[in-house]
Amino acid sequence: MPRRARSILTVLMLSIGVPSMAAPAEPSPYAALAAAEARVAAIGFRLTTENAAWCPARQPQFGWIWGDPRLYDADRRAEALGVYGAADQTHAFIAALAPASPAASTGIGVGTPVAGIGEAPVPDGASNHPFARITAIETYLAARPVDTPLTLDTGAGRTVDILPKPGCASDFRVEANEKPGAVADGRMILVNQGLVDFSPDDAELAAAIAHELAHNILRHRARLDAAGVDRGLAKQFGRNARMFKQTEIEADRLSVWLLAGAGYDPAAAARFWSRFGQRKGRPLFQASTHPSWRDRVAALEAEAATIAAARMLGRPLHPPLINAPPPLE
């Protein structure tokens, strides 16, 4: 056989013998979202329950984050629910569970549907907003006594009883938003997925969440509203900016103590805000509603040093501001 013919035959045989390498399937974006929810559920439960004694407003904490089929576009709903293991496309379901939380200890799992709470159906919400049902559920549960068992109907006649733990008054959600940010509205803390991705260390993510929890504990939204602040363009100027900046400084201070109370490293706050402040290099414009990242880190380090000194002397920790926050001015 001529050499050229043998070469062609060899190539053909090799191409037949080597299986084609199919491109790996891309992971579902809902898997990353579910993982972010799991981290936030665990951190939120720990921060709220371990600091419950310091919080003037408390609610039952079960250690979960809720999901709802209506949150997902119809063309990808099956994919999303498959990630959570939620086969039921009708009912709200458990989207995340904190380890060793009251909910997790009952044996229910992520994806468990909830058809009823107590002897009543799950509240449906008063609007068509995707989060309406979850908001109605959270509002109903937050108003219950902190130490009263809750019965969930998980469908097909199955029920489970859960005894919650008292915790600071806040619920948690994760939004599929790439921006590294979070916001607190007085009772709920919304964490962007981008913030979770930015914080691979749980202590640093806890520092960011503790800052938002501090806003809720100190009733900053209600106090700002009572002071008549402008949340529009005028927010950046004069009295409005001063009061917003004051709430940011207060939340920073308290967040370090919340970390300590929950068993996280208080120094994680300074580490997080140092990285966060430098994530885009030197900013062209410093918002007047927030301290500079250098000032923020210095204040956080000072607060952590105060905690370290108290521990060294064997003194109990007494977080600032909670009992008597200064007036906004």
- What 8-state DSSP symbol labels residue 184? E
pLDDT digits (tens, 9 = 90+) for 164-221: 999 999 999 999 999 999 999 999 999 999 999 999 999 999 999 999 999 999 999 9
Q: What is the mean pLDDT of residues 106-125?
A: 89
Q: Which CATH number fits domain 29-168: 2.30.42.10, 3.40.50.720, 1.10.150.120, 3.20.20.370?
A: 2.30.42.10
pLDDT at 15: 41
- If one compares 269 and 21, the residue with the highest pLDDT of the two is 269
- Nearest-Å Rg of the Cα atoms of the chain is 25
pLDDT at 249: 96
**222 falls in which pLDDT band (50, 70, 90)?**
very high
User: What are the backbone angles phi and psi of residue 28, rounded to the nearest 5°?
Assistant: -65, 135
Do 254 and 299 touch, CB atoms closer than 8 A? no
Q: What is the mean pLDDT of residues 257-286?
A: 89
The pTM is what?
0.90
Do 208 and 182 touch, CB atoms closer than 8 A? yes
**128 falls in which pLDDT band (50, 70, 90)?**
confident
Q: Which of 84, 89, 70, 86 is nearest to 132 (CA)?
A: 70
Residue 172's DSSP bridge partners are 189
How many Å apart are CA 166 and CA 99, to the nearest integer?
Answer: 16
pLDDT at 285: 62
User: What are the backbone angles phi and psi of residue 59, rounded to the nearest 5°?
Assistant: -150, 165
- If one compares 91 and 304, the residue with the highest pLDDT of the two is 304
Q: Which of 29, 162, 47, 143 is nearest to 94 (CA)?
A: 162
Q: What is the mean pLDDT of residues 297-320?
A: 95
Q: What is the mean pLDDT of residues 263-289?
A: 87
Q: To 5 degrees, how large is the angle CA 255–CA 163–CA 124?
A: 85
pLDDT digits (tens, 9 = 90+) for 33-68: 999 999 999 999 999 999 999 999 999 999 999 999
pLDDT digits (tens, 9 = 90+) for 1-12: 444 444 433 433
Q: In the chain, what are the domain boundaries?
A: 29-168, 199-312
Q: For 49-53, 123-127, 230-234, which range has the lowest pLDDT when averaged over its residues?
A: 123-127
- What 8-state DSSP symbol labels residue 62? -
- If one compares 323 and 251, the residue with the highest pLDDT of the two is 251
